[in-house]
Structure 1
Amino acid sequence: MPDEEYYRSLGIDPTPRPPAPLDAEELKEAQALDAYWTPQRLRNARPLDDPDGTPLGDVHGKGSALRAPSHEVAGGFDTIGVFVVTRAGGKEDRFCTASVVDSPSMNLVISAAHCLSDTDRFENFGFVPKYNDTSNPKPYGIFRAEKNRVYLDGRYLQLGAARGNDLDFAFVRVQRNEKNQVLATAVGGGNRLKFVGPGDFAQKDAHLIGYPGGAKRPRDCKATTRKFNDRFLQIDCDGYTPGTSGSPFLAEWDGRRGDVFGVIGGYKTGGPTADTSYSSQFDADIKRLYVQAVNDYEPDKASALGGGATWKHAKAITSGTFYDPAAFGPARAVARRGTDVRRTGTQDMIVLWDDGELSLYEGDGTFGFEKDRRLIGPNSTWKNAKAITAGDFTGGAQYDLMVLWVDGEVSLYKDVDYDSGSIQNVPEITLQQPNALWKHATALATGAFGGNKWPDDLVVTWDDGEATLYWDVNASGVHEEQKLANPGSVWKHARSLTTGDFGGADNNDLIVRWTDGELTVYKDLGISGLGAENQVLAPNALWRDHARVVSAGSYGGNSWPDDLVVRWSDGELTMYGDSSASKLGRQYMLVPPG
């Protein structure tokens, strides 16, 4: 079982906190659930992942081509069982495999997200550990799923099983059973959650245990896992037909419990054949869900970003810290998200639309965003905004929005905040009156490039190929200037700019998208010049023809602004999390194509 240090390393209080005893009404509900799931109903339940599949209690059919053999285990296992549900107004009884996860809350069960993404239609929803088709099919009874306590990643809910396949895992908190027993106490503990790092895909002597439709008992197989498509675990075991979705991949298995490091799901919801199964990688994404579930936070909701048809109209994107640190304490953060993720440096996103609308999206700390706050609706004035960028130009650790207008005016909107309401309520500072010079500016990017540690330095590209650094910009104007590239240079071909920390060492870097699709990072740009040039992408047709808007910020994973957001020509919005100066990071589809 995990020790206190394991939980503390995840930011979890290790103190056991079992669910409260059921009151009289809750106990009646638990007893009614137990009465509903008679041995015959359990036997007749069909797989959630294949409603036409073989019922749970039928004689096991022959699997496909033999890989590592699997075998039925008489009596089953204490920590492995089935989720059972009724769908379609009480007419369809279904099941998926699930297993107990060790936690201080003592009531967590893990399965596949694709089994649990439709819980608003579930009735009679409970977990039966150690199910077996005997005279005592529920040796530990049945544990009702807590209402509104199914934990799936919000991006999975938004993208679905195909596009969100690397997030195909879920946790469920369960109540006490009909005997008022706590799950972990009844079964003697759970399986420790094990995370899979880049070098951990190969696990020797791993066990895969699940309930295929047609199996009277769970099937067990021992084999070695390996990496598939860089994002999934693969295991070759015979006989894992529908019903086994959610089956745990177990390391250090002693016949009673072990370390769960995967569940059948992910690629093609676990695989198209019965002899090869897959799992999404257990990385920081499942760690976040686990912490949510243990701490009884509100589950994610489907992404509120909308669809690609809308995002085709995103004209510009910038990131920043758009909240008042003095007013945003831990209590407010817990109320807003369920956890104070802002301590990890999460940023937010402002989007300018081609109809003049301006929107603020709150970062959720997991490479996603909450529903937008409209700073101003469609209007003719903001249609004339040519470029936007954000930084701390006026002090106070709260970001300001800088706007370049088509007439050459440069404006600063001080301390933009969630609670600002309309942008018209934000103090406006004019840095440049309308003028002929700044009409020729083509792009802006803000970072900490010199002078002080604040993001108050501005890189500007001009239509004649000049690139300029202005450092220590403040409310009184644009001051110290350093020429980075002369007029007539290759910088005439710079299509867009953004900044972040892609090279480490807490120094800001400039990332440039060129007209031929090349993507370049200039590490540690500063007063002395551009710094070292690193090619992230060679010239290519995809980024040349289809990348429309590029921005960077700190949206998840670590606390550095190394997450790159791209809006494509078809409206798709993609994030490359934890990117470096030489390679794009893991890809997340935030908005599917329109």
Structure 2
Amino acid sequence: MRTSQLHRAGRRRAFLIAAVTALLALCGTLVAGAGTAGATGAAGVSASAIPVTAPPRPPGVPRWTASAAGKFWTARRMLAAKPFPDGRSPTAGKAAGTSTPSAEGTGRTGPSSSHFGGLPMIGRMYMQTGSGAYFCTASVINSPHHDIVLTAGHCMDARAGGGSFAFVPQWTAATPQPYGVFPVATDSEGRSRVWIDGRYYDRGRVRGAPWDTAFVQVGARSDGKQVQDVVGGNTLATGRGAVFPSVRLIGYPGADSQPLMCDNQTTLYTPTDGTPGSYLQIACDDFRGGTSGGPFLANFDPNSGTGDVVGDIGGWDTGGPTADVSYSPVFDSSIQNLYDAAVAGIAPARPNVLPGASTLAHATLMTSGYFTPTPSPDPDKSDLIARWSDGELTLYRGAGNGRFDQEIQLVAPNSTWKKAVSLTAGDFAGANTYDLLVRWTDGSLTLFPDVDANGLHRQIRIVRSGTLWQHEVAMTAGRYTTDDRWPDDLIVRWSDGEITLYRNIDSTGPHGTVRLEAPNSIWTHAASLASADFTGTDESDLVVRWSDGSLTLYPDADQGGFHGEVRLQAASPRWTHARVTLAGDFTSTDTRSDDYLVRWSDGGLSLYGDSGSSLGTETVLAAAGP
């Protein structure tokens, strides 16, 4: 069983090597020299200036195939699909008395838009939700794997509903599937492979408007060909600002039988309604619902039908309150990073299920471990378990990116679990999931083996009540011995300042003890302990938060004692308010337990990702206050 755990870790390391290699190859590189496609030709087109060797990416899980998508999205169903609801009105004004901004120098409306036969690399993105069939506009972006499509974030946001997503290039009512159907790729749980900036999920469609963009991985057509090989693509262009002298705007409005196109300049628009950020603005008539996600094409070549994608309809007010002026997020480095993540197959951000700070203030105990597998092809990430003040025990499944995508109640509120004093997790039983180790008010110590999404399965008392364990103040599990490779060791801080290492704990208890520090006054000020791998040696480092707010790292602590120390944080009044600390693998940049999580006295939750000889940059997962 321990071998399977080692294989699990090996898989995580292999994915890391592939993902980091991909990101290094892509970072800062603008995909240029777009593949071309004729405006009406159906022949496949090869792309130029795309890396010959695509960066490695974990294989997808074809839960939703091209054959299934083609059978589901019949011509009749596509024709009946409605524009995805985005609030755009064909007439002026959000409400009576509310003015609608107009593009500078163009008046309230822009140049006339015209219907046309469409372009091969632009089409409809279809989705089936509980309320029916819908569509947005989407376009193929040149990428090394030839399988990336761009649309608006609000079209693919998980809150829009799951369902059978599929991209249909150059749809028209007369010729509904000229190039076939391309299913949106899925993971092993059937969730679409869609990359949206996590800030869009966290802040919602108003305050998250600057990140209203989505990159979507689509599967191959029924004949095995990738979408870019069939229809070509456009070039993603980031870092060019918002002002362009000429942009072609394309989208699929309403129930119209063909797409619309329009050419005009863009200007920079900064909302005055409290929406953060600034946006591209273009005046073009009649871009109604359904055009969301439509590309802004600069340097458009009418002969090849290609250009540089500098925006997509979305952003402020999900693309604008009326159909005559459209908006887009500014394509800056965050858009480039999102594209890079999609190309490399880094785990997409998911909506975060963690509660707010006012609730987290009641999470009195927390620990991390690998309790539930992350859906493939994404690498496994640390989960979080919280014991609440009312005795409830909750598991939050780790999703990478400092996010958690499932909330699972392990134990309902009860009086027994209120008596838990300390909580930690490790691989004590040797199975493929982590185990919980709990110290109770009576001094007993209980092991709960193989905790998973189905709950607690059994319990083993490894220390009886009424023992010296009533004097335990803090404990943390990790790999602190060199005789095996498993996180089955335990470091304990006692009330007199003694520090003890318990070796190779299993269902029968510990197998040897080592005194790391004799009773002393200094260690009585160790307020919390956490096991981490900040140094990258695959051995646990001990992270200590002291009563004065300072933070110390003890690298590679083992049965031989402590081997030096690193000051991570000087004494700080703020850090005296850290109530719960732990470490795990919560981000998507590597597969080490080098991410330090802090729950503050006000319920705020902070993540210090990719920590090493210094703490990583703070990311606020739950902010206290209004």
What TM-score does the superposition give when structure 2 sets the normalisation length? 0.63
SS at match of 1:9: coil
Q: Equivalent residue for 2:463?
A: 431
Q: Equivalent residue for 2:354?
A: 305
The alpha carbon displacement at 1:258 in A equals 7.2
* Counterparts in 2 of 1:251 and 1:570: CA distance versus 1, 3 Å: farther
SS at match of 1:217: strand
* Counterparts in 2 of 1:256 and 1:351: CA distance versus 1, 3 Å: same
Any residues of structure 2 matched to 1:372-387 within 5 Å, and which?
Answer: 372-387=407-422
The alpha carbon displacement at 1:192 in A equals 6.4
The alpha carbon displacement at 1:582 in A equals 0.9
Q: Equivalent residue for 2:386?
A: 351
Q: Does residue 526 of structure 2 align to residue 487 of structure 1? A: no
With 401-410 and 18-27 compared, the bigger mean Cα shift is at: 18-27
Q: Equivalent residue for 1:501?
A: 533
The alpha carbon displacement at 1:314 in A equals 0.8
Superposed CA offset, 1:427-464 (max 9, x none):
313235422x3323211111212233221222222333
Contact 1:495 / 1:513 at 8 angstroms: preserved in 2?
A: yes
Q: Equivalent residue for 1:448?
A: 479
Q: Give the distance between the partners of 2:226 and 2:266, measured in 1 at CA.
A: 25
Any residues of structure 2 matched to 1:508-547 within 5 Å, and which?
Answer: 508-545=540-577, 547=578
Q: Equivalent residue for 2:585?
A: 554
Q: Equivalent residue for 1:228?
A: none
Equivalent AA in structure 2 for residue 481 of structure 1: V
User: Which of 365, 371, 375 does residue 316 from structure 1 map onto?
Assistant: 365
Q: Equivalent residue for 1:30?
A: 78
Contact 1:432 / 1:477 at 8 angstroms: preserved in 2?
A: no
The alpha carbon displacement at 1:307 in A equals 3.9
Equivalent AA in structure 2 for residue 101 of structure 1: I
Q: Give the distance between the partners of 1:142 and 1:410, measured in 2 at CA.
A: 64
The alpha carbon displacement at 1:407 in A equals 2.8
* Counterparts in 2 of 1:319 and 1:275: CA distance versus 1, 3 Å: closer
SS at match of 1:543: helix
Q: Give the distance between the partners of 1:166 and 1:515, measured in 2 at CA.
A: 41
* Counterparts in 2 of 1:349 and 1:221: CA distance versus 1, 3 Å: same
Any residues of structure 2 matched to 1:583-594 within 5 Å, and which?
Answer: 583-585=615-617, 587=619, 589=621
Q: Give the distance between the partners of 1:289 and 1:379, measured in 2 at CA.
A: 44
Contact 2:541 / 2:553 at 8 angstroms: preserved in 1?
A: yes
* Counterparts in 2 of 1:80 and 1:221: CA distance versus 1, 3 Å: farther
SS at match of 2:496: coil
Equivalent AA in structure 2 for residue 431 of structure 1: V
The alpha carbon displacement at 1:390 in A equals 1.0
Q: Give the distance between the partners of 1:240 and 1:431, measured in 2 at CA.
A: 73
Equivalent AA in structure 2 for residue 160 of structure 1: G
* Counterparts in 2 of 1:511 and 1:108: CA distance versus 1, 3 Å: same
Contact 1:205 / 1:222 at 8 angstroms: preserved in 2?
A: yes
With 240-249 and 310-319 compared, the bigger mean Cα shift is at: 240-249
Equivalent AA in structure 1 for residue 472 of structure 2: A
Q: Does residue 625 of structure 2 align to residue 580 of structure 1? A: no
Equivalent AA in structure 2 for residue 390 of structure 1: A
Q: Equivalent residue for 2:44?
A: none
The alpha carbon displacement at 1:95 in A equals 11
Q: Equivalent residue for 2:58?
A: 11
Q: Equivalent residue for 2:139?
A: 99
Q: Give the distance between the partners of 2:284 and 2:624, measured in 1 at CA.
A: 30
Superposed CA offset, 1:68-123 (max 9, x none):
xxx999999864689899xxx99xxx99875323579988531332465464599x
Contact 1:63 / 1:274 at 8 angstroms: preserved in 2?
A: no
The alpha carbon displacement at 1:562 in A equals 1.6
With 279-288 and 477-486 compared, the bigger mean Cα shift is at: 279-288
Equivalent AA in structure 2 for residue 281 of structure 1: S
Contact 2:527 / 2:546 at 8 angstroms: preserved in 1?
A: yes
Contact 2:400 / 2:586 at 8 angstroms: preserved in 1?
A: yes
Equivalent AA in structure 1 for residue 480 of structure 2: F
The alpha carbon displacement at 1:9 in A equals 1.0
User: Which of 360, 363, 367 does residue 402 from structure 2 map onto?
Assistant: 367
Contact 1:458 / 1:470 at 8 angstroms: preserved in 2?
A: yes
Superposed CA offset, 1:151-184 (max 9, x none):
36595445424676786432458999xxxxx994
Q: Give the distance between the partners of 1:52 and 1:121, measured in 2 at CA.
A: 31
> Where does structure 1 lack aligned partners over 5 or more consecutive residues?
38-44, 66-70, 177-181, 195-200, 224-233, 324-332
Superposed CA offset, 1:403-434 (max 9, x none):
12223222222333334x4x3x3131323542
Q: Equivalent residue for 1:327?
A: none
The alpha carbon displacement at 1:283 in A equals 7.2
Q: Superposition RMSD on alpha carbons, in Å?
A: 5.9
Q: Equivalent residue for 1:414?
A: 449
Q: Does residue 151 of structure 2 align to residue 111 of structure 1? A: yes
Q: Equivalent residue for 1:217?
A: 262
Using the aligned pairs only, state the percent identity. Answer: 32
* Counterparts in 2 of 1:374 and 1:522: CA distance versus 1, 3 Å: same
Contact 2:265 / 2:282 at 8 angstroms: preserved in 1?
A: no
Q: Equivalent residue for 1:461?
A: 493
Any residues of structure 2 matched to 1:113-152 within 5 Å, and which?
Answer: 113-114=153-154, 116-117=156-157, 119=160, 151=194
Contact 1:249 / 1:263 at 8 angstroms: preserved in 2?
A: yes
Say how many residue pairs are matched: 524
* Counterparts in 2 of 1:482 and 1:206: CA distance versus 1, 3 Å: farther
* Counterparts in 2 of 1:314 and 1:110: CA distance versus 1, 3 Å: same
Any residues of structure 2 matched to 1:471-486 within 5 Å, and which?
Answer: 471-474=503-506, 475-477=508-510, 479-484=512-517, 486=519
Superposed CA offset, 1:30-73 (max 9, x none):
3456xx89xxxxxxx99868998689xxxx997569xxxxx999
Q: Does residue 214 of structure 2 align to residue 170 of structure 1? A: yes
Q: Give the distance between the partners of 2:90 and 2:574, measured in 1 at CA.
A: 40
Contact 1:264 / 1:279 at 8 angstroms: preserved in 2?
A: no
Contact 1:126 / 1:142 at 8 angstroms: preserved in 2?
A: no
SS at match of 1:281: helix
Equivalent AA in structure 2 for residue 112 of structure 1: A
Superposed CA offset, 1:372-399 (max 9, x none):
3333222222211111111123434542
Higher RCO (CA < 8 A, seq sep 6+): 2
Contact 1:49 / 1:245 at 8 angstroms: preserved in 2?
A: no
The alpha carbon displacement at 1:468 in A equals 3.4
Superposed CA offset, 1:525-546 (max 9, x none):
233433343343444444333x
Contact 2:312 / 2:328 at 8 angstroms: preserved in 1?
A: no
Equivalent AA in structure 2 for residue 151 of structure 1: V
The alpha carbon displacement at 1:188 in A equals 2.9
The alpha carbon displacement at 1:21 in A equals 7.9
> Where does structure 2 lack aligned partners over 5 or more consecutive residues?
1-46, 95-99, 106-110, 185-190, 252-259, 269-276, 321-325
SS at match of 2:524: helix
* Counterparts in 2 of 1:363 and 1:103: CA distance versus 1, 3 Å: same
* Counterparts in 2 of 1:308 and 1:13: CA distance versus 1, 3 Å: closer
Any residues of structure 2 matched to 1:237-252 within 5 Å, and which?
Answer: none
